[in-house]
Amino acid sequence: MGITLILIMGWNIMKKLQPIRIKKLTKKLENDFDCNVRQGKGSEIVIYKAERQTMYSFGIHKKNYTVLVWQLKECLRRLGISFKEFCES
């Protein structure tokens, strides 16, 4: 029973995480989670949190790049943002 509940709760969170455009993601992280965004080397965009001293970089090779779910999950994990917080904001 407990395992089933955890799986269902995990499924609901995963169901909410959809691919997102990079511009929308950067605006959301800057406004809601106090992250900073800067241009990286070449075609990279770097998102970082100063207080955690962590960062995540996206290689952007297209205009308004679509961030895949696994990239979004890894970015949120490194920045210390939970899936639940991200989905609720």
CA angle 15, 47, 55 (to 5 degrees): 95
For 33-66, the pLDDT digits (tens) are: 999 999 988 888 999 988 878 889 888 888 888 8
Closest CA to 77 of 88, 86, 66: 86
More confident residue, 1 or 50: 50
Structural domain range at position 28: 2-88
The total number of structural domains in the chain stands at 1
State the burial class of residue 1 (Cβ atoms within 10 Å of its Cβ: 0-12, 13-18, 19+).
exposed
For 21-35, the pLDDT digits (tens) are: 989 999 999 999 999
